[in-house]
Structure 1
Amino acid sequence: MLTRERQTLIRSRLDAHGRVVAAELSVEFEVSEDTIRRDLRELAAAGLCERVYGGALLRTPPVPLGLRLDVRLEAKRTLGRMTASLLEEGSVVFIDAGSTNLEVARAIAPGLRLTVVTNGPVIAAALIDRPHTEVIMVGGRMNADLGACVDAQALTEIGRLNIDAYVIGACGIDPAAGLMAQSFEEGSIKRAIAARSGAILAPVTTEKFTVRAPFAVSDITDDSTLIVEADAPEAALSRMRAQGARIVACRGDAG
């Protein structure tokens, strides 16, 4: 098989599954793992994938918030309800912008006393009818694609906060790379929030395990609680448990 033919097939595997494993491709194509790694390096150099330990992930461009709100809505609602059930009475919670996090905000019980800080106007709007929830907006210029304030003013205000729990909207997740963001500004904001937080709650749809975003946000540690769907990849979850993370799996209606 010619190199170009093999790389075309590898691209088709990436498109279909979101990730490839070098050892499996080596067996399938009857070539050495070094040959597969060379193929993956060339595909990554062409911007077609992101190399990770043992294989590669499909490179996924960022999608504006407005286009994500109705995608896999029932799965996000299930994750949102489970995440909201983990919030503790009287705590200070930062909920950043994101379509899954919007469902977390919507699922907060009306009687739960919380202080919610957010840089996302849609998150604040979702909590407007919660009589026992104090909502604090982090200001600055809003990025329309992200649906969030991610500028210098937002960073300054975040630096003055003491946060009990951070509900993070993750663009990608990986045992080695941790939680990731798609843009430089978003990554900077998320890192600043994580640094001011006692714990991180990450509701993650299964496809996020196949996304290799370019900007690191936070490692997976014993401060991390990952709220995942029933079909989340067990190999990745096992590694994250070994890193100290708590895994909360949603069952039944998460599809």
Structure 2
Amino acid sequence: MLTRERQEVIRARLDLSGRVVAADLAREFAVSEDTIRRDLRELAAEGICERVYGGALVRVPARPFSERMSENQPLKSVFGAEIASLLPDGGLVFIDAGTTNLSVAEAIGSGRDMTVMTNAPAIAAMLTVSSDVEVMLTGGRVDRKIGGAIDTRAVTSLDGIYPDVFVLGTCGIVPGEGLFASRADEQTFKAEVARRSRRIITAADTAKFETAAPYRITAFSPEVTLLVENGNSNDMSAIAEAGARIVPVAAGRANT
């Protein structure tokens, strides 16, 4: 089989399942894994996929915040309630922009004693109406696709801020590598909050393991707690080996 023919088959597999594993392709085509990795590099250069540890994922553009708000609300509510229960009273929490994180803000409710900083106006508004917590907003221009501020002014707002917990909105999960963002400017902001935070909590539905996001926010570590759908069939061993806490919740689908 010619190189281009093999790459067309790989492209079709990506369209069908959203992901390919280099070792499996090497056995199927009776070629070396180096040959498959070269194929994947060329397909990635064409924008077809994103190379990840052990293979590649189909590249899916980030969808606007407004389109994601009403999707899969039951699981988002479960994620939100679980994360809210993990937040420390008396502490400083940073809640990142994201539709699942909006459910976290809603779940905090009244009677909690903490300070919450956010880059998302919708989250700040929710907390102001439904909770007793002290609310702080970053500066910066609100990006409508993300639903929050991620620009230079937003980063500057973090000066002197060291959260006890960062509730992170992530775009993609690579078990052997970490938590990823779909845009470079988004990664810059999220990585800075992560660097300043003592703990990181994030929720990921099964789709997050099948979404190519090229910019790593942070690696998995003992400081990371990852909420996943119960029954998620992805291999979590590399995440567990890195020391991250994995918390399964009721099955379903959500989009952060």
Using the size of structure 2 for normalisation, the TM-score is: 0.91
Report matched runs for 1:79-98 at 5 Å.
79-98=79-98
The one-letter amino acid of 2:240's match is: R
Q: Deviations over 1:138-165 (max 9, x none)?
A: 1221112211112222211112212110
Say which SS state the counterpart of residue 13 (structure 2) adopts: helix
Give the conservation status (yes or no) of the 8 Å contact 1:79–1:254. Answer: no
Which residue is equivalent to 1:194?
194
Give the conservation status (yes or no) of the 8 Å contact 2:59–2:212. Answer: yes
Q: Deviations over 1:174-216 (max 9, x none)?
A: 1333111112221111111112211000111111112232222
Report how far residue 45 of structure 1 moved.
Answer: 1.8
Say which SS state the counterpart of residue 163 (structure 1) adopts: coil
Which residue is equivalent to 1:225?
225
- Would you say 1:248 and 2:247 are equivalent positions? yes
**Counterpart-to-counterpart distance in 1, 2:102 and 2:131:** 18
Say which SS state the counterpart of residue 116 (structure 2) adopts: strand
Report matched runs for 1:40-51 at 5 Å.
40-51=40-51
Say which SS state the counterpart of residue 158 (structure 1) adopts: coil
Q: Deviations over 1:26-47 (max 9, x none)?
A: 3334444344333222211211
Report how far residue 234 of structure 1 moved.
Answer: 4.0
Give the conservation status (yes or no) of the 8 Å contact 2:163–2:196. Answer: yes
**Counterpart-to-counterpart distance in 2, 1:252 and 1:193:** 29
The one-letter amino acid of 1:250's match is: V
Say which SS state the counterpart of residue 246 (structure 2) adopts: strand
Report how far residue 113 of structure 1 moved.
Answer: 1.7
> Could you tell which deviates more after superposition, 16-25 or 34-43?
34-43
Which residue is equivalent to 2:208?
208
Report matched runs for 1:82-231 at 5 Å.
82-231=82-231
Say which SS state the counterpart of residue 128 (structure 2) adopts: coil
Report how far residue 112 of structure 1 moved.
Answer: 1.8
Closer/same/farther in 2, CA of residues 71 and 4 from structure 1, 3 Å limit? farther
Give the conservation status (yes or no) of the 8 Å contact 1:141–1:149. Answer: yes
**Counterpart-to-counterpart distance in 2, 1:176 and 1:253:** 24
Give the conservation status (yes or no) of the 8 Å contact 1:115–1:136. Answer: yes
Report how far residue 170 of structure 1 moved.
Answer: 0.4
**Counterpart-to-counterpart distance in 2, 1:117 and 1:233:** 34
Report how far residue 23 of structure 1 moved.
Answer: 1.7
The one-letter amino acid of 2:109's match is: A
The one-letter amino acid of 2:59's match is: R
Report how far residue 56 of structure 1 moved.
Answer: 1.0
**Counterpart-to-counterpart distance in 2, 1:56 and 1:70:** 29
Gaps of 5+ in 2: none
> Could you tell which deviates more after superposition, 239-248 or 38-47?
38-47
Report how far residue 103 of structure 1 moved.
Answer: 1.3
CA-based RMSD: 1.9
Report how far residue 48 of structure 1 moved.
Answer: 0.5
Say which SS state the counterpart of residue 79 (structure 1) adopts: helix
Using the size of structure 1 for normalisation, the TM-score is: 0.91
Closer/same/farther in 2, CA of residues 65 and 131 from structure 1, 3 Å limit? closer
